Amino acid sequence: LDLDLKSGELLGSPTNFEVRYTDLAGRIARLETPHGVIETPAFVPVVHPVHQSVSPKFLKSLGFDAIITNAYIALEHYGDIARKRGIHGIVNFDGVVMTDSGGYQVLEYGSINVNASTIAQFEKDIRSDICVPLDKPTGYGLDYHTAKNHVEQTLTNAKDTLSLVLENSNESEISRQDGAHEPIWAGPVQGAEHFDLVRYSASELDKMGYTIMALGSPVEIMETYEFSILAQMIASAKSVVPTKPIHLFGAGHPLTIPLAVALGCDMFDSASYMLYAKDDRYMHANGTARLEDLSYLTCHCAVCTKYSSPKELFDSNKEIRTIEIAKHNLYILKTELNTVKQAILDGRLWEYVIQKSRAHPKLMESIEILKDSNLLGPGTPIFKQRAIFFYDPLDQHRPEALHFRKMVSGFISTKSDGGQGKLILYPDSSVHPFYATRDFKKLAKKFPEAQICTYNRFLGIIPSEISDIFPAAHNLSAKLTTYQANNYNTFVESLKEFLTKNEFEEIIILADQFMKNIITNNKSVLKKFNTKVFDRVGDITSVP
């Protein structure tokens, strides 16, 4: 089998995925499929091919443009009828239909009685828009050897599927040329907590030409709240396949969506809305709650406004109640997706993900992965239209702050005067840019020869000459005393580097409490300079 570029085109051209906006590793994009375009990030509800308690029509009315259903069950239950009517006819949905292969059934029941080629042929025959080869999910908790075995088995299936696709395409050159019915093939990435296997798996599928990376089976990882493992799993796949769309299987917990988007996931499918509903679990912005534990309906969707209390909903007939909760859950998921997309456009995905992470301590622990600038840097715009918000020590690691400090590290002051010059360090305020402030003008008048800078715990040293550059002039910084100065290690680095690259004789500091603590904790950094520390600007300008 020759895995050349051509196969890539056959498995769905990379050009059918157009990225429009990005923030962190998150992105808003358009994915073209045989049955129309969907916007990502997209939540793709699972629809059972036989039993549909929430109608696909309702899903469409909520704005879900794609659904996913199970090819294996469709094959077993409908067979030729499905081939004839097509999967869209079977599930009664005129949008985009993705088909899962039956891998989940493998996870649940051990194995199934069809092979990869049969499933792949069937997925083609029923005109699925996005197809997945038969995979062997790793789940969570397998030893390395077994997990590797599952990965290899899945890759073999993916190759068999590829052969079939190539064969078919040779047979029907004409139908392929109009492109109308060529599905997109998504490669099932397995490996779970064995991150090198995830990387290996994604890399192999990428080389084969699969257009979408479909990251397998985080269900168990999410059920045990191992969000750090989930985050590293996503980051592993993303690190080897940075541009192609990533689908995350079974990710229907509303908690995880913002983080997963920020790490680069573009699509999510799940039956959670229905599974949770059957268990009377009601989604809300911070997770799920058992309906009987709620005293208030914290939602105003079309379902919840019908009931005066959770009790009234809980007291209704079980069958009706399940559908009602499922619909409510879908509203919550839809709003979550819209909120994340709006955050991307606003350039505030970082703020949103971290805010959201305070829904659970385990989720909070997982967000330290956001410090990985290789992962988040490339997608984060260098300039943003809106101010960004800095809250606590985590935020010094924002890609925008990192980028700014890098820029400052290349700044060479024209005023160091061969080591004879003066440096003035002044606290950053919310009035920006600093060079346009009255304080700056006073200082510049008094010390025309001095290098004047502000300092900001999140951004480091800000030379006044570039104090209008994003985000120096486009941020709002919280100054809490709870977080001690020595949490801001990037600040100390920025100060040290500035003093090394630009030599001064004298440093005049207007020190707020933060800077006073920095000075106390870093005496060695300043001891070789003639350093004067003041409390008030009036004291500086009255220096002789």
477 lies in the site for a copy of itself, by CB under 8 A: yes
Applying CB under 8 A, does 364 fall inside the site for a copy of itself?
yes
Q: How far is the CB of 48 from a copy of itself (least distance, A)?
A: 24
Binding flag, residue 354, a copy of itself (CB under 8 A): yes
Among 121, 355, 437, 531, binds a copy of itself (CB under 8 A): 355
- State the nearest-atom distance from the C-beta of 264 to a copy of itself, in Å: 20
Q: Supply the DSSP symbol for 529.
A: S
Q: In terms of CB distance, is 3 or 359 closer to a copy of itself?
A: 359
Examine residue 438 and tell whether it contacts a copy of itself (CB under 8 A).
Answer: no
Decide: is 37 part of the binding site for a copy of itself (CB under 8 A).
no
Helix (H/G/I), strand (E/B), else coil: 195? helix
> Closer CB to a copy of itself, residue 166 or residue 340?
340
361 binds a copy of itself (CB under 8 A): yes
79, 246, 314, 433 from 268: Cα distances, Å: 27, 9, 29, 42
Total residues at interface with a copy of itself (CB under 8 A): 55
Q: How far apart are CA 243 and CA 32, in angstroms?
A: 15
The continuous run of DSSP H or E covering 477 comes out as strand 475-477
Pick 285 or 526: Cβ nearer a copy of itself: 285
Least Cβ distance, residue 393 to a copy of itself (angstroms)? 5
Tokens coding 439: 């304080």
- Whether residue 268 contacts residue 252, with contact meaning beta carbons closer than 8 Å, is answered with yes
Which of 204, 223, 258 shows the shortest CA–CA distance to 141? 223
Tokens in use for 1? 């089998």
Question: For residues 157-181, b (16+ Cβ closer than 10 Å) or e, as one string?
Answer: bbbbbbebbbebbeeeeeebeeeee
Q: What is the token pair recorded at 522?
A: 């870093």
How many Å apart are CA 324 and CA 329, to the nearest integer?
Answer: 9
Cα–Cα dist 240/249, whole Å: 18
Q: Of the candidates 374, 420, 429, 484, which one interacts with a copy of itself according to CB under 8 A?
A: 484
User: What mask, x for binding a copy of itself by CB under 8 A, covers residues 51 to 90?
Assistant: -----------xx---------------------------
For a copy of itself, the closer CB: 244 or 341: 341
Dihedral sign for Cα atoms in the order 45, 120, 115, 207? negative
Q: Is 141 in the site for a copy of itself (CB under 8 A)?
A: no
Binding pattern for the stretch 201-240 against a copy of itself, x by CB under 8 A and - elsewhere: ----------------------------------------
Active site annotation includes 100? yes
Q: Toward a copy of itself, which CB reaches closer, 309 or 542?
A: 309
- Please answer whether residues 460 and 430 qualify as being in contact, where contact means their C-beta atoms are separated by less than 8 angstroms: no
Which range in 107-115, 253-261, 267-275, 478-486 contacts a copy of itself by CB under 8 A? 478-486
One-letter amino acid for residue 66 of the chain? A
Q: Which is nearer to a copy of itself, 353 or 450 (CB)?
A: 353
Q: Which of 334, 384, 403, 496 binds a copy of itself (CB under 8 A)?
A: 334
Site string for a copy of itself, 391-420 (x = CB under 8 A): xxxx--x-----------------------
Q: Quickly list H helices, 126-226.
A: 144-171, 173-178, 195-208, 219-223
> What residues from 268 to 297 belong to the interface with a copy of itself (CB under 8 A)?
284-286, 294-297
- Indicate the residue among 51 and 300 with the shorter CB distance to a copy of itself: 300
* Torsion (CA) 310, 311, 313, 314 in degrees, nearest 10: 110
Rounded to 10 degrees, the C-alpha dihedral 314/315/319/322 comes to: -10
Residues 144 and 451: their CA atoms lie apart, in Å, by: 57
Nearest-approach distance from CB 483 to a copy of itself, in angstroms: 6
The residue among 302 and 543 lying less far from a copy of itself, judged by its C-beta, is 302
Write down the catalytic residue from 4, 65, 80, 100: 100
Between the CA of residue 490 and those of 380, 395, 518, what are the distances in Å? 19, 11, 12
Task: Answer yes or no whether residue 298 interacts with a copy of itself by CB under 8 A.
Answer: yes
Task: Extract the tokens encoding 88.
Answer: 């869209």
Among the listed residues 3, 19, 112, 359, the single contact to a copy of itself using CB under 8 A: 359
Residues that bind a copy of itself (CB under 8 A): 62-63, 284-286, 294-302, 305, 308, 331-332, 334-335, 338-339, 341-342, 345, 351, 354-355, 358-362, 364-365, 368, 371, 389-394, 397, 476-484, 486-487
Catalytic amino acids?
A: 100
